Amino acid sequence: MIDVITIFILAIFIGFEVITKVPPTLHTPLMSGSNAISGIAIVGAIISTRVGGELGTWLGVAAVAFATINVVGGFMVTDRMLKMFKRK
């Protein structure tokens, strides 16, 4: 248990360190990109679609669909935006 809490705290710390360095110009792609990362719920969704347990499985499948929207849409739209940032 203490392991996962340690990981959680370390990840927050790294998150703060890395993300404070993102310039304002890229704040929208940062949001959509981190949005895609929060689609990691897809991992939990896959695990929760266990065969059996009717309602639980359906909720799991709905979660898979929701999270995939996030992952696919998030990464694709971020790429579309970042493609547009050009130098002089």
Partner 1 sequence: MEFVNLFYVLAGILFIMGLKKLSHPKTARTGNMIASVGMLIAIVVTLLAADAIDYTMIVAGMILGGLIGGYFAVKVEMTAMPQMVAIFNGFGGGASALVAAADFLKNYDQLIAGQNIMVSGFEISPVFYGAVVAFSIFVGTLTFTGSFIAFGKLQGFISGQPIVFPLQQAINAILALAMLGCIILMAMSAGNLQLIFLGIIIISAVLGITLTIPIGGADMPVVISLLNSYSGIAAAATGFVLLNQGLIISGALVGASGLILTNIMCKGMNRSLANVIFGAVGGEVEGAAAAAQQMTIKSYSTEEAAMIFDAADKIIIVPGYGLAVAQAQHAVRELAEYLEGKNKTVLYAIHPVAGRMPGHMNVLLAEANIPYELLKDLDEINPEFEDCDVALILGANDVVNPAARHDKSSPIYGMPILDVDKSRTVIVNKRTMNPGFAGIQNELFGFDNTIMVFGDAKDMLNQLLKDVKEL
CB of 2 to partner 1, least distance (A): 12
- Residue 52, φ and ψ in degrees, nearest 5: 95, -175
Instruction: Scan for tokens 């993300």, then name that residue.
Output: 19
CB of 64 to partner 1, least distance (A): 3
Site string for partner 1, 16-35 (x = CB under 8 A): x-xxxxxxxxxxxxxxxxxx
How many other β-carbons are positioned within 10 Å of the β-carbon of residue 10?
Answer: 10
Footprint of partner 1 on residues 41-60 (CB under 8 A)? 41-53, 55-57, 59-60
Angle at which helices 27-38 and 54-84 pack, to 10 degrees?
A: 160
If binding means CB under 8 A, how many residues of this protein chain bind partner 1? 79
The verdict on 2 binding partner 1 (CB under 8 A) reads: no
CB of 33 to partner 1, least distance (A): 6
Q: What is the CA radius of gyration of the chain?
A: 17
